[in-house]
Amino acid sequence: MSESVKDEHFDGGCDCRQVRYRMVSRPLFVHCCHCRWCQRESGSAFALNAMIEADRVQLLAGTPVLVDTPSDSGAGQQIARCPHCHIALWSHYAGAGPVASFVRVGTLDEPDAMPPDVHIFTASKQPWVQLPPGTPAVAEYYERDQLWPAASLARRQLMLPAIKAWHSQALT
């Protein structure tokens, strides 16, 4: 990690403050997902998730519980929740498993620092949600190579061996 990336961090946690965490760098990319599954799980019009390498999310206090939940893909996800107040802090989706965390931006102490890089699954967004001009928006999903910054693509490349190893182990 470069010195400038290493020095940048973002703290967050649950409502009861039993679980506290720190993102030790900026995320790879921030998704604002408008799919019906995210609407249901968040109880809102969308979910705002900051995708980051799981080893860049450090626990400062407490230990979340991982709750297996279904997903539209059928592969499910694990949601890290506070065992006391049950706030969802981040998820691990089947694509990258425990190698990547999708941190719920609303649990950051300063969520304003993580505006969405893209709006996804806008075909099912609530009609009253107005998307900001200048932020990419796609009806479903997007091609990573077209939207991610080069630095994030390079970080993802470094994650691939661990993701492949996790998939290999998950199949056994």
Q: Which two tokens stand for residue 164?
A: 């492949």
Band of pLDDT at residue 170, cut at 50, 70 and 90: confident
Domain ranges of the chain: 3-170
Q: How confident is the model at residue 70 (pLDDT cuts 50, 70, 90)?
A: confident
Domain 3-170 superfamily per CATH: glutathione-dependent formaldehyde- activating enzyme (gfa) (3.90.1590.10)
The whole-chain average pLDDT of the chain stands at 92
Whether residue 5 is predicted with pLDDT greater than 50 in this model: the reply is: no
Mean per-residue pLDDT for 37-54? Answer: 94
Compute the distance between CA of residue 52 and CA of residue 101 in angstroms, rounded to an integer: 5
What three-state secondary structure class fits 109?
coil
Q: Which of 60, 62, 97, 63 shows the shortest CA–CA distance to 78?
A: 97
Percent share of the chain, pLDDT over 90: 78
Q: What is the pLDDT of residue 2?
A: 40
Degrees, nearest 5: CA angle 70-71-77: 70
